Amino acid sequence: MARVISVASGKGGVGKSVVAANLALLLAQRGQQVVLVDLDVGGADAHVLVGLLNPPFTLTDFLNHRIEQLDDLAHPLPIHPNLRIIPGTGDTLATANMSYSQKKRLIRNFQDIRADVIVVDIGAGASYHTLDFFLMADHHVAVATPDPTSVLDLYRFLKLAAIRRVLSLFVMRNVMAEGLANRDYSSVEEVLDVAGKTDESGRAIAETTLRAFQPTLILNRVSGRARVNVLQLRKLLKEYVGGDLTLLGEIPDDPAMEQAVRAYVPVVQHAPSSPASIAINKSADALLQLFSNPLSRAA
Extract the residue ranges of the chain whose pLDDT is less than 50. Answer: 299
Q: Residue 254: its pLDDT value, please? A: 97
pLDDT in tens, 180-201: 666 778 888 888 887 777 677 8
pLDDT in tens, 6-42: 999 999 999 999 999 999 999 999 999 999 999 987 6
- Return d(Cα 187, Cα 196) in angstroms, integer: 15
**Residue 131 CB-density burial (10 A; 0-12 exposed, 13-18 middle, 19+ buried):** buried
Q: Residue 58: its pLDDT value, please? A: 92
Rounded-to-5 percentages of helix, strand, coil across the chain: 50, 15, 35
Determine contact, residues 70/112, Cβ cutoff 8 Å: yes
Element (H, E) at 34: strand 34-39
pTM of the prediction? 0.92
Q: Whole-angstrom distance between the N-terminal and C-terminal Cα of the chain?
A: 15
Q: Residue 260: its pLDDT value, please? A: 98
**Residue 64 CB-density burial (10 A; 0-12 exposed, 13-18 middle, 19+ buried):** middle
